[in-house]
Structure 1
Amino acid sequence: MSLITSELPTLYEHYTAGGIHTGLNSDKPYFTLNDKNISIYSGAIHYFRVPKEYWRDRLRKLRAAGLNTVETYVPWNLHEPQPDTFDFGQGGSDWEHLLDVREFLTIAKEEDLFAIVRPGPYICSEWEFGGLPSWLLREPNIRFRTSDGTFMKYVSRYFSVLLPILAMLQFTRGGPIIAFQVENEYASTYLPGIFLPDKKYLRQLRQLMIDHGIKEQLMTSDAAMYGTIGSLPGLVLQTANFAGNPENEFSQLKTFQPARPIMAMEYWTGWFDHWSEQHHLRNDSDFRDNLERILRYPASVNMYMFIGGTSFGFMNGANLDNGLSDNSGYQPDTTSYDYDPPLAENGDYTIKYVMVKELLKKYNPIGTRLPQTPHLVPRVAYNSHLIQGQLTLDEIIDRIPHRVFTKQLKPMEQLPINNMSGQSYGYVIYRHRLFHLPSYSHVRINGRVCDTVVVTLNDQLMSRPLDTASDLDAFGFWKVANSTLELGSNLYSYSVLDLMVENWGRVGYGKLSQFNQFKGIWQGGVYVNNEQLQDWEILPLEFKKSWTKSLTGWHVPSKYTGPALFKTDIFIENPQDTYLDMQNWCKGIVIVNNFVLGRYSKIGPQQTLYLPGPFLRKGWNKILIFEHYRAADKVSFTDQPVFKTRTSKKKVIE
């Protein structure tokens, strides 16, 4: 039913009646927009985590809950996948269909919403490398997120393309954007005695925005306990990030920013998952209590996230829990970014959605017209389909076009491919040919692998499968340094040793010392029977659309163990949302119609992969599964997400 009668004005009718004279102002203890009082009630929706066909649905649901603003990050690594090659929706990259930020923001205005944009260059967001392009790692001695000339050269070039797009969408130019963020949680880089946040860098970013026509309100966001070290007092508005105790956060903001509006840029509605953990759920009553305290304060708020969405492809990020940069404390994030917010990953309403709607109706003093609450997008569990085709790892390697021959091991970023920008995502295979391999030989990898390695000998799996979280403490994973694997009792006069290494996601949050992240085997040498191997053939396995689409030579599966691609073709009359149920598989990735949908792993917590209906087509659909260890014989579906958790998620259906 309609929440507010149609006699009320729309948001834009209320705030732009009589013309637009000024934007968002923060010179008083409260915000004004076009000289009218406003409290910002915002929710985060990342356009790159939601199918383009559902942008309007998600935005309308946000507006129907009573919010007046949507917030989004902008991921540099997707928009500039190779140096000086850009994609904002028509650039031809594998992600083209999710990158038209101009269209997303245009739809936001059509749905009667304002917008806050956080353009980076660093976004955190549990996103691969915090949104930074991996090709930056090829620059010797680059210092990320500082005023370092090399880093700023690339930021300036990127902003010279991005910011003019956003400038045209500013509120004072008739668009939806009322505010921009300068960098992101920059105070968190503070390391006492080692690194003090670089104010010159922040001033450079601010000036770049101004030089490219950005005139709306500028903000920074950090935990309030950091004070002003990550911001530019007097030049930008500081906001706070937190999960609870809002009065404490806001009182600290007031001490160093008196007589200015108070805002939570990130009020955390839930939390994200790392692989091997329990699924995170935030207590609904605790969420409601803290949100009401924010609104009662009164303060403005951006709910992070309003819908988490999905880190499709290889784009999940990671954390380092011990502060060290040697990978020992590595924690990769799951593909699902469900986050337990008001809208679930699939767009379903949760109890939190109802709570948000009730509280905003209670505390928002300005009545504007709201849309009817949209119906839910239907889902279906398609019938299971048997695996029809296979390509073994050897056969996959035969089809990889790029081969690098080298004496020494190299990380994927240093490979001379992709117009000399290196390899960003996927797998890198290190191949060595052995002459006379004795029985009971062993291979040792010095240092830590970044991030997982699967060993095959003559296309036969040698590595132990990843069945439980405790298996991460053994050979094949980042937790163990200088690890050794036995190669069996067979004697070989000639053998081919393959080390398949996975980039399971670059770290997206932490101290600056953690941002020099190379993937592959590079911390030390590889030894067989204590003799260091040289003369390597290195093969990048990127799973780009064009390559995957070209694969031929599929055959009936000859084995179900060891790295291999498995294929099935499914005829669909009416494409709808569904989930791939991966509980009978071990670890790998799923590819749907040549687009990498995401990762799965038996260790959980995520056990299903959200497959949006728009990723399917009427007719035949190709599903590929790249399994590392042990495959099932069929592809199965379900209409509900499955997580390893002690508590079930509560849904509200309207």
Structure 2
Amino acid sequence: MAILDITDDGFHLDGQPFRIISGGLHYFRVHPEQWADRLHKARLMGLNTVDTYVPWNLHAPRPDVFDLDGILDLPRFLELAAAEGLHVLFRPGPYICGEWEGGGLPSWLLADPTMELRTTHPGFLAAVDDYLDRLLPVVLPYLASRGGPVLAVQLENEYGAFGEDAAYLTRLAQSLVKRGVDVPLFTSDQPGDLARGGLDGVLRTVNFGSGVGRGLEALRAQQPTGPLMCTEFWNGWFDRWGGKHVVRDPDDAARALDELLAAGASVNFYMFHGGTNFGFSNGANDKGNYRATVTSYDYDAPLDEAGDATPKYRAFRSVIARYAAEPAEPVPARAPKFALPGIELSEQAPLFDNLAGLGSPASGDRPLTMEELGQNFGFVLYTTRLDTPGPTRLAVGAVRDRAQVFLDGQPVGVLERENHEHTLTFTVPAGGAELRVLVENQGRVNYGAALHDRKGLIGPVTLNGSAVDEWSSLPLPLEDLGPLAFARTDSAVPGPVLHRGTFQVDEPADSHLHLDGWTKGNAWINGFNLGRYWSRGPQRSLYVPAPVLRPGANEIVLLELHGSTGRTVDLREVPDLGPIEE
């Protein structure tokens, strides 16, 4: 049983001085069959600990559900970490940020119009209590106090960047302790937020990527004694759609790491291995302009998205070896890759021809939000009838986040939240027409004041200044593509279309799906949602984990929202994450 103690002069483990050398590794961003490989490579870089968030929204897609299967099998991840000889820093939220959809907060919280997230709002606290009642019995056996790998538990996450309600943090701490958490609690904040985000009696830690001296000095100003720790050493960064791929020079990052360790501090790399925002799980930022995070969470981390060691891995391993015993095993070799060009997607299923099998519509006098529909991710289709011919102006209070507008099935325009677009004009033909508005949730905001990010058509929706009081709202989470009716066709089909093809694999290995000539949508292989693609970049390929493939025939499906120059895709050995930000 390895017990972590916090003393005036630092961490002690079982009574001996101890330095935490940790790295972020989110189990829910890595295929579960690859967890053991990633954990092993963490130890081989010199880490003695790994760090993970817990995504409340994925574990609890509905209030009455708590899922621990597959990629959410948290107990198995903790067991594998222990088997590798690694400790764990456990960060259960309830809010996690992490460039993750909604910062990990379940979307169903926002079905309550009075909800105030990350506060002492009674509805929020009741939901948090229920979450902890479901999560902690599963985790308690893995606490270090009970012989498990979990050394410490984080209280909330960078709360100082959001608020300064000590009563809220106190309530969370009490909730953890009374449910059996008896290992140290800690908070983590950026240097300027340490005072607001901390709580007396709870270890403060600091987050930064550079300016090591200033960061540690800020921490000491709030906490004169005790361990120095950077819980998020930002060795890379995330990408957004429409931007460039962000990288950090390995030598620059290694120099900062050396300075941090020379100061006697503990460290947690954010990230050691970023992984992937599979499916619809990416988050977004909105500081006056909405910016959605891409599918890849490669993060320019020491271990890349496919789990291969990078130059940064080697540089960090060398630095760590100056302060801890270097692992006897060599740097892991690059894993094999699978490539296959020219996979033809020969079958099509127009989305609008397949609506009956994909969801059940709700009627109302206005478009209903996704949260009102009980929907977490994906799309919602709003439909109404227009009987007055002539020029018509559609005006929407807010689009969350991207709306494709169709008149009798023909596209007439797009409204994007990112561009602050609210209006569109088109001509209704004689005899009237059916108006359809397909809205994509591109990722709920995960940071800052815009967390209350309800999706769909928000606020008043008018046509030529008058409200329309008959709407159908159809949730399209696209969790099950089984009901789709595919057929071969040589003609172009307007509107969103799902394309399907098959390909053969002799021996499964990691690959990257390249989508040259395709515009925007999502991709599935053998029913596994790889995530979003978008020609605007920077990311132009999607990571395909080896366990998703199988020997023999494999199926690929693309939801293409606009159109493509052809009907083929490639599987290649290398990714294309886009041009690098200088």
TMscore range, shorter length:
over 0.9
Describe the SS at the equivalent of 2:219: helix
Distance 1:357 1:476, change over 3 A: closer
Aligned to 1:131: 104
**Which AA in structure 2 matches 1:241?**
N
1:385 aligns with 2:343: yes
**Pairwise mapping of residues 341-420 of structure 1 onto structure 2 (< 5 A)?**
341-364=301-324, 367=325, 370-415=328-373
Paired with 1:556 and 1:572, the residues of 2 have a C-alpha distance of 26
Superposed displacement of residue 557, structure 1: 4.9
Structure 1 spans left out of the alignment, 5+ residues: 1-19, 90-96, 191-196, 323-328, 416-421, 465-474, 649-654
Counterparts of 1:23-34 in structure 2, within 5 Å, are: 23-34=3-14
User: Aligned to 1:599, what secondary structure does the other structure show?
Assistant: strand
Amino acid at match of 1:543: L
Matches within 5 A, 1:272-291: 272-291=238-257
For 1:605, give the aligned amino acid.
Answer: P
Q: Could you report, residue by residue, the CA deviation over 1:59-98 in whole angstroms, capped at 9, with x for unpaired residues?
A: 1111001110000000000111111211112xxxxxxx20
Q: Is 1:307 aligned with 2:273?
A: yes
- Determine if contact 1:60/1:371 at 8 Å carries over to the other structure: no
Instruction: Give the Å deviation of 1:461.
Output: 2.0
Given that 2:344 and 2:567 are in contact with CA atoms closer than 8 Å, whether structure 1 keeps it comes out as yes
* Pairing 1:577–2:527 present: no
C-alpha displacement at 1:369, in angstroms?
5.8
Corresponding residue number in structure 2 for 1:221 = 188
TM superposition shift of 1:477: 3.9
- C-alpha offsets along residues 285-307 of structure 1, whole Å, 9 cap, x if unaligned? 21111111001111000000001
Deviation string, structure 1 residues 609-648 (Cα, Å, up to 9, x no partner): 0011111222222211111111231122221111221479
1:240-639 alignment runs, 5 A limit:
240-322=206-288, 329-364=289-324, 367=325, 370-415=328-373, 422-435=374-387, 437-438=389-390, 441-463=391-413, 475-487=415-427, 491-511=429-449, 514-527=450-463, 529-545=464-480, 548-559=481-492, 561-631=494-564, 632-639=566-573
Shift of 1:341: 1.0
State the distance in 2 between where 1:558 and 1:454 align: 22
Task: Give me the whole-angstrom Cα distance separating, in 2, the residues matched to 1:494 and 1:431.
Answer: 14
Could you tell me how far 1:481 is from its partner in structure 2?
4.1
Partner of 2:125, secondary structure, is: helix
Q: What amino acid is aligned across from residue 526 of structure 1 in structure 2?
A: T
Bigger Cα displacement from structure 2, 296-305 vs 277-286 = 277-286
After TM superposition, give the deviation of residue 432 of structure 1 in Å. 1.4
State the 1:554 CA deviation: 3.0
**Quick one: distance in 2 between partners of 1:371 and 1:72?**
25
Aligned-pair distance for 1:593? 1.8
Q: Are the equivalent residues in 2 in contact too, given 1:57–1:374 (CA < 8 A)?
A: no
Mapped partners of 1:575, 1:539: distance in 2: 38
Instruction: Give 1:371 deviation, angstroms.
Output: 4.5
Secondary structure of 2:398 counterpart: coil
Q: Take 2:580 and 2:220, find their aligned partners in 1: how far apart are those partners?
A: 40
Instruction: Note the 1:2-13 alignment, pairs <5 A.
Output: none
* Number of equivalent positions: 581
Q: Percent identity?
A: 37
Encode CA deviations 1:160-218: one digit per residue, 9 max, x unaligned. Answer: 1111221110112111111110000000013xxxxxx2111111111111112111111
Q: CA RMSD in A?
A: 1.7
Return the alpha-carbon distance in structure 1 between the equivalents of residues 240 and 154 of structure 2. 27
Aligned letter for 2:398?
A: R
**Distance (whole Å) between structure 2 residues aligned to residue 28 and residue 295 of structure 1:** 18
Give 1:476 deviation, angstroms: 3.9
Q: Distance in 2 between matches of 1:320 and 1:597?
A: 25
- For 2:241 and 2:124, the matched residues in 1 are separated by 31
CA positional deviation for 1:384? 1.6
Question: For residues 166 and 31 of structure 1, what CA distance do their matches in structure 2 show?
Answer: 23
Instruction: Confirm or deny: 8 A CA contact 2:194 2:206 kept in the other structure.
Output: no
Q: Which residue of 2 aligns with 1:160?
A: 133
Kept in 2: contact 1:461–1:563 (CA 8 A): no
Unaligned stretches of 5+ in structure 2? none
Summarize the Cα distance change of 1:621–1:526 in structure 2 as closer, same or farther, 3 Å threshold: farther
Q: CA deviation at 1:252?
A: 1.7
Q: Is the 8 A contact 2:516 2:569 kept in 1?
A: no
Q: 1:449·1:478 contact (CA, 8 Å) conserved in 2?
A: no
Partner of 1:54: 34
Q: Which amino acid aligns with 2:377?
A: Y
Written as runs of structure 1 = structure 2, the 5 A alignment for 1:231-246 is: 231-233=198-200, 235-246=201-212
Whole-angstrom distance in 1 between the partners of 2:488 and 2:393 = 32
